[in-house]
Amino acid sequence: MPDFDVVVIGAGSAGSVAASVLSTQTNVSVCLIEAGPDYGPFEAGRWPSEILDPRLRPRTHDWGFVDSRAKVVGGCSAHNQCAAVWGLPEDYDLWGGAGNLGWSYKEISKLIQEIERCSVDSLTEWRGKDGWLPTRHYRDEELASWQLAFLESTVSMGYSRIADLSAPQPGEGVMPFHANVYKSTRWNAAFAFLDRARGRRNLTVLPNTLAEKLLFEHKNARTLVCQSGSDTLEIRARQFVICAGAYSSPGILMRSGIGPRTELERLGIRIQRDLLGVGKNLQDHSVVSVEFELSEHGLRALEQDVVEGSFHESQVILRARSVHCKGPFDLHLAPYQTTADSGEYVSAVLACDMVPQSRGSIHLSGTDAELPPSIDFGFLTDPLHQDASVLIDGLRLIHRLAESGPLATMIESRTPRPDAMKPGESYSYVESHVDGYAHPVGTCRMGQLSDSLAVVDSGGLVRGTSNVYVADASIIPTIPRANTNLTCMLIGLKIAKELSIRLLRS
């Protein structure tokens, strides 16, 4: 194995962008390590159909953690529902306001232009138009029946249709979302960004290679130890950029000796840097759902969607305000239909708390890199119980929606019935059914030196190291009020651009 200038670990939403930028904007040698397989450029035609089909979430290429995570080049962008939504300007201003230089909305908005290429007919001032990731919003005539019925029921309840879920105003409203769907394909980060760099001689992609840990010489990491089949590889480089996602990036740091002293000592890992924040500050939008038994009419509509190929799991989002809301909105409500393991269709509406107050954590289950992390989501642990209250309000809203407009005609019965619940029962329901929106972030948070839980600085550099960066969902200090894919791509772009400039100067 030759030495490299830069090793990027993880070819997901952020890592695909980071490797592409480092390769195309410099002449330094870049090695991209990915635990899952690589099917080559989109045009090669070797990608499995379930990864390409944007209508259904793939069940293959998963890490098998307690939460779904993709193990394939493209990462979770190759697995997700393709909702392309930016955080609100205030969300990024919160990061900038916490002392993270360069992260205010004004500063990142030019990077939005470099990420997204929104189709002309659905472009708004809150979207990019010159980037590499094609997006457009679903048209009404493309909507599956359940999605359309939800949309029309929200309108019949008085919600207005809005033009962009990335726009800060109006806070409330509904729309078929913008999606990174192009050529009827889930256009993942590898197609949008990595394919541009694949022919370049300075880029090496190593799939099916599990990054275990970094070995240090003083402040510098020098070697990445990986497993490839039954072989152990030692890859030497000048710079390391960890993009393994919010569940795995803290694990790589901890196995390398960077993390909370007590946790590392418990596992007998030699300490390089005592960094309390590694694995802390886990955030996801918490979710509860209501499942519906369909009426004859609902069943017929579903069958017709399946036969016609118009069945989609998710296409529409309503932004709404709970009674606790202090900003423009604090809830996403989303109609969702999928197949259960039994093969039966499940029809549901999700209520998602977009301003979660609770925090969880990630821990190593052992020193073996093959072991899944131990994930404590921490849902509903906020001391004022605000998250539970928001979700209970979301349940009530779902109940009202289910009685309005076309949705009512598609439903036979529902579980639970929030209207029939005694005081305390709705809390018990939320407590026993709470889940995540698949948007974990924050486990290597970015912050100033004075922030005791900060793991990286505003350039992604891990505190106390001189050449180890984290650039993915992990560095997000507070979760934006949006689905997280686009923001992760932007993080990969920003940190890789800044590193490229430093490499060109050195």
Ligand X SMILES: Cc1cc2nc3c(=O)[nH]c(=O)nc-3n(C[C@H](O)[C@H](O)[C@H](O)COP(=O)(O)OP(=O)(O)OC[C@H]3O[C@@H](n4cnc5c(N)ncnc54)[C@H](O)[C@@H]3O)c2cc1C
Residues of this chain that bind ligand X (CB under 6 A): 9-15, 33-36, 57, 68-71, 75-77, 79-83, 210-211, 243-245, 248, 252, 369, 438-439, 472-473, 483-486, 488
273, burial (CB in 10 Å: exposed 0-12, middle 13-18, buried 19+): buried
Shortest distance (Å) from residue 284 CB to ligand X: 9
Dihedral, CA of residue 32, residue 33, residue 38 and residue 43, to nearest 10: -10
CA 87, distance to chain mean position in Å, is: 12
Instruction: Annotate 158-199 with DSSP letters as a single string.
Output: TPPB-S-TTSSSSSSEEEEPEE-EETTEE--HHHHTGGGTTT
Shortest distance (Å) from residue 210 CB to ligand X: 5
- 2 — alpha (psi -120 to 50), left (phi > 0) or beta? beta
Shortest distance (Å) from residue 189 CB to ligand X: 7
Q: Taking the alpha carbons of 370, 473, 217, 497 in that order, is the dihedral positive or negative?
A: positive
Output the residue with the shortest Cβ distance to ligand X. 12
Shortest distance (Å) from residue 295 CB to ligand X: 28
Q: Kindly tell me which of 351 and 473 has the beta carbon lying closer to ligand X.
A: 473
How many angstroms separate the Cα of 68 from the Cα of each of 26, 100, 159? 35, 30, 32
Q: Kindly tell me which of 34 and 330 has the beta carbon lying closer to ligand X.
A: 34
Shortest distance (Å) from residue 427 CB to ligand X: 27
Three-point CA angle 241, 244, 247, nearest 5°: 135
* CA gap 339, 304 in Å, rounded: 15
For residue 83, what is the DSSP state? B
Q: Which residues contact 201 (CB under 8 A, 6 or more apart)?
A: none
Among the listed residues 342, 368, 77, 30, the one whose alpha carbon sits nearest the alpha carbon of residue 206:
30
Q: Kindly tell me which of 209 and 386 has the beta carbon lying closer to ligand X.
A: 209
Q: Kindly tell me which of 178 and 273 has the beta carbon lying closer to ligand X.
A: 178
Q: Copy the structure tokens of residue 100.
A: 């993270």
Q: Kindly tell me which of 264 and 294 has the beta carbon lying closer to ligand X.
A: 264
Shortest distance (Å) from residue 220 CB to ligand X: 21
Instruction: Annotate 420-441 with DSSP letters as a single string.
Output: GPPTTHHHHHHHHH-EE-S--B
Q: Kindly tell me which of 251 and 378 has the beta carbon lying closer to ligand X.
A: 251
Shortest distance (Å) from residue 197 CB to ligand X: 16
Q: Kindly tell me which of 133 and 402 has the beta carbon lying closer to ligand X.
A: 133
Q: Kindly tell me which of 388 and 444 has the beta carbon lying closer to ligand X.
A: 444
394, burial (CB in 10 Å: exposed 0-12, middle 13-18, buried 19+): buried
Among the listed residues 492, 505, 496, 480, the one whose alpha carbon sits nearest the alpha carbon of residue 87:
480
Shortest distance (Å) from residue 182 CB to ligand X: 15
Q: Kindly tell me which of 46 and 400 has the beta carbon lying closer to ligand X.
A: 46
Which residues are 495's β-sheet partners?
A: none
For residue 80, what is the DSSP state? S
Q: Kindly tell me which of 319 and 414 has the beta carbon lying closer to ligand X.
A: 319
* CA gap 471, 490 in Å, rounded: 9
Shortest distance (Å) from residue 393 CB to ligand X: 23
Q: Kindly tell me which of 233 and 407 has the beta carbon lying closer to ligand X.
A: 233
* CA gap 66, 340 in Å, rounded: 16
Instruction: Annotate 28-40 with DSSP letters as a single string.
Output: S-EEEE-SS----
Shortest distance (Å) from residue 487 CB to ligand X: 8
- Tokens 């393994």: give the residue: 244
Shortest distance (Å) from residue 400 CB to ligand X: 25
